[in-house]
Structure 1
Amino acid sequence: MARRCAIISRMLDDSWCVRSIHSAATLVDFAVSRSMTVAAALAETGLTAADLEDTDREIEVGQEFRIIENILDTTGDEPGMGLLAGFSVHLPMLGPLGIALGSCATVREMAELWARYAELSFAYCRVDIADAGDRVLVGLEPGALPERLRRFALEHDLAVLRTVQRELLNWDVLVHRLEVALPYASVYEAVGVLLGIAAIDFDRPASTLFLDAADLQRPMPQANSILRRQYERQCADIVERRRARIGLAGRVRALLLRRDRGVDQATVAADLHMSVRTLRRRLAQEGTSFRELSGETTVLLAEELLATGYTVDAVAARLGYTSVSAFATAFRDWKGQTPGQFAQSRRRHY
């Protein structure tokens, strides 16, 4: 828990720290295809198999990072693993962003839209587009990614970019050269051919795709300005909502998770150097409350502890409940089943 929360807390000022559950679910599917169990893929994430089916669920990016670490720990941290994971991401999975991308007027407009909303594309790297004569440079910046995950992330995003582009167009945007901030590995030669990359330069200070500027002026086959505006607005709304969640609410969540047990509002307000009244007012401005945030984190911790083998008595005590019956009643209100039934269902599933 401490390791995951440390990652989350470092990311709290970054709107990329909130992710759709679909991205994590895709990673878990990939893990299963590599002979991992769902339980192994979700270890130490605080997520359950049932969470992956909740289409409205959003998670912290630290939880997704943990899934990647679980994959690398189990299958081996070898070059090419991120590419294989990236090939499992397809256009329909991107939801509103996918429709907006397909509705753009030109390939350049599509690329710029991708760069603007890359955080909705299952990507881990920020995208930057710059003109250089007859070339367009597309940079991939891993930013705050933990060092161990950078190779996986770069590989993953390269594969996603090419896969989605091929599903949007009936021709390939020419990649004259790829400069990549990774050391040489033989697997990249075959993958370069597969991705249609003419040349790859390794051990570069940054990762950059060199594209043909003329290619990017070509029209998109299903251009529709009304659809593009409609679905880009949806993308903007999602990002705005996630940024609002990251503010004070995100800091409160991080404090509740770090404490790993029941804590009152006054204590959290003191940790944030504000009065309880100010805390209430600012959380209300963000559309939430201390009670709601406390409930969210308590459910997360309870599920994680029960799924990892803690007894109901131990979980109740760890979460600060005065009695097991009080915890059981609260848990039944949250999940529609008793803590014992929940724990048994996790064991049966795995």
Structure 2
Amino acid sequence: MRTLPEPVVRHWDFPRGIASVALLLRFGAQHGLSRDVLLDGSDLTADQLADPAAEINAHQELAVVRNLAAHRPLAGVAAGRNYHATTFGVLGHAFLSAATVQDAVDVALRYLDLSFTFTAPTAVLDGDRLVLALNPGALPEDVRPFLVERDLAAIHTVIGELVTGEVPVLSVDLAHPEPPDTRDHEAVFGLRPRFATGRDRSVVDASLLLRALPLASPEATALSERQCEDLATRRRRRPGVAGEVRRVLELSERFEETMPVVARALGISPRTLRRRLTEAGTSYQALLDEVRAERATVLLPGASVEQVAAQLGFAEAASFIHAFRRWYGTTPAHYVRSRGTSGV
């Protein structure tokens, strides 16, 4: 069983498609909430809502979530059950065509910023257990419980669709207090969660990762992943302070810039830069990792591991290999071989 990659982002402030907002509007209508109520403060236009290819910023979706949670604070799990693999567009097609659950999880983590998550999920193998943990720490308090439940329910709903059967859930822990009714939780997770535990996670039997998926197709996987990569590359050039930091780093030749150097290039103090990145749900190190990870895949086909490590600012090749495994769940050599290119 391979190790799992780290998620490509650890924040929620990334551009996203309109599909999630459209789903939430339909869900809200089923619960008696008008479109005007749900769209209040989102600045979403009729043209955006009518365009299935429209892209919006995370704060616009968050405004819709806030309006929905204000009127239906206990509906997070019920909303999450409406997120299917097809809701995620090309990323969902990559899930469906994957060979195994582990391959689907891998692509989800590598292209997490093509999803609609707000809770920075991670997947970690712990012996014979797979721990799916959420980190909602950067979210406003008023939407945190709703989004934790929505995101975790969506993850389990999609996994259940992929395996067309029961997901072997061992436990579910949620940080917020227990609601009056847990029937939706039990329907999605197959058991009653533990509440007020101080953490948000589910634990499943790791054997789930080895399950073959019924719609597996190497050709469809290759096409879907290429489309994911193209879309992610475009979206990751996002506006705002995070985008400005990325642009500075992308111009770097050997990534020798420290955060104070980047802050000076942006005309602000390191303290202000750190605060603004925190408010955006990210950090300097997370952005540095994103840019390094992208640059690595560009450099590897034509250079050795040692050369790429030096180009990315790593002191030694071993450190780069370790980082690459975190990013992509495999070694640079295997990554290159799997794509049929030379180098390494």
Report if TM-score (shorter chain) is over 0.5: yes
Matched, 1:103 2:111: no
Match of 1:93 in 2: 87
Alignment deviations for residues 283-315 of structure 1 (CA, whole Å, 9 cap, x no partner):
xxxxxxxxxxxxxxxxxxxxxxxxxxxxxxxxx
Which of 119, 130, 155 is residue 125 of structure 1 equivalent to?
A: 119
- Structure 1 121/248 Cα, relative in aligned 2: closer, same or farther at 3 Å? closer
Which of 8, 18, 22 is residue 21 of structure 1 equivalent to?
A: 18
Matched, 1:214 2:207: yes
**Structure 1 stretch displaced more, 224-233 or 174-183:** 224-233
Larger Rg computed on CA atoms: 1
Matched, 1:243 2:236: yes
Match of 1:62 in 2: 59
Could you tell me the TM-score, scaled by structure 1's length? 0.62
Aligned equivalents of 1:30, 1:16: Cα separation in 2: 23
Instruction: Give matches, 1:176-325, under 5 Å.
Output: 176-188=170-182, 190-246=183-239, 273=267
Which of 144, 151, 155 is residue 150 of structure 1 equivalent to?
A: 144
Matched, 1:141 2:138: no
Instruction: Give matches, 1:167-178, under 5 Å.
Output: 167-178=161-172
Aligned equivalents of 2:53, 2:187: Cα separation in 1: 35
Q: How many residues of Structure 1 are paired with residues of Structure 2 in the alignment?
A: 240
Contact 2:97 2:215 in 1 (8 A): yes
Contact 1:15 1:243 in 2 (8 A): no
Displacement of 1:113: 2.0
Alignment deviations for residues 130-165 of structure 1 (CA, whole Å, 9 cap, x no partner):
111111111112242212111111111122112222
- Structure 1 runs of 4+ with >4 Å offset: 247-251
- Structure 1 215/148 Cα, relative in aligned 2: closer, same or farther at 3 Å? same
Name the SS for the 2:236 alignment partner: helix
Alignment deviations for residues 59-101 of structure 1 (CA, whole Å, 9 cap, x no partner):
111111111122233x243x2x111221222222211111111
Contact 2:101 2:162 in 1 (8 A): no
Contact 1:177 1:197 in 2 (8 A): no
- Structure 1 76/215 Cα, relative in aligned 2: closer, same or farther at 3 Å? closer
Which runs of 5 or more structure 1 residues have no equivalent in the other structure?
1-12, 252-271, 275-350
Alignment deviations for residues 216-256 of structure 1 (CA, whole Å, 9 cap, x no partner):
211111212222122122212222211113367966xxxxx
Which runs of 5 or more structure 2 residues have no equivalent in the other structure?
1-9, 245-265, 269-344
Could you tell me the TM-score, scaled by structure 2's length? 0.63
**Structure 1 stretch displaced more, 82-91 or 152-161:** 82-91
Aligned equivalents of 1:89, 1:233: Cα separation in 2: 23
Q: Relative CO higher for 1 or 2, CA cutoff 8 Å, sep ≥ 6?
A: 2
Amino acid at match of 2:229: A
Which protein is richer in helix relative to its size?
Answer: 1
